[in-house]
Amino acid sequence: MGSHAPRFPSGHVRPLDDPRLPAREALPRCAGLADARRMRDAIIIALALLGELDEIDCPDRPACRNMADLFEDVAGFALFGAEAARKAGGAGR
């Protein structure tokens, strides 16, 4: 799909602080950037928790299930963050 973001003659998307960018377009882009940052932070936290993999004794089934859940969380955060970054860039799926 094409982007509905205003473009400069060179084809680049206008920066968020461009005074010619209407507020109704800038607000969703700012929200997208905030969401992308939150997902980055969530991934960092999940990765820190996954660092405990080295401390798990085999076979600690409950701990392994928790780690599996964390990997799934990272995947979900990444997908949401990717969509939010596209939104921040003025595009969506």
Separation of alpha carbons 66 and 41, rounded Å: 19
Which amino acid is residue 81, in one-letter code?
G
Which amino acid is residue 82, in one-letter code?
A
Separation of alpha carbons 74 and 37, rounded Å: 14
Average pLDDT value for residue range 60-72: 91
Which amino acid is residue 58, in one-letter code?
C
pTM across the whole model: 0.64
pLDDT tens profile 11-52: 455 555 555 555 556 566 788 899 999 999 999 999 999 998
